[in-house]
């Protein structure tokens, strides 16, 4: 898709969200700070990704909590 659509100005990307997203019904365990993704941080990252300058488009993004092992 990217090969076809990038020349037309369409930003095509693959995004992996590798972790649970913290919410009111799914709070973060107090003994594991930063073990879950903060929804506002996820939104800010998606916004940055969506508004990247076209001279420096990223094609792939992986979001995971800081404490998540690779």
CA 36: distance to chain centroid? 13
The domains of the chain are located at: 2-63
| 15-63 pLDDT per residue, tens | 999 999 999 999 998 998 889 999 999 999 999 998 999 888 888 999 9
The three-state DSSP-derived secondary structure of the chain is: CHHHHHHHCCCCCEEEECCCECCCCCCCCCCCCCCCECHHHHHHHHHHHHCCCHHHCCCEEEECCCCCCC
CB atoms within 10 A of CB 52: 12
Say yes or no to pLDDT of 70 above 80.
no
Beta bridge partners of 62: 16
Say yes or no to pLDDT of 2 above 90.
no
């Amino acid at each position: 898709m990217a090969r076809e659509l990038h020349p037309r100005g369409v930003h095509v990307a693959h995004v992996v969200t590798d972790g649970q997203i913290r919410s009111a019904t799914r709070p973060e365990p107090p003994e594991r700070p930063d073990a879950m993704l903060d929804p506002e941080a996820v939104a800010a990252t998606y916004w940055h990704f969506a508004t990247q300058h076209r001279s420096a488009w990223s094609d792939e993004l992986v979001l995971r909590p800081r404490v998540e092992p690779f």
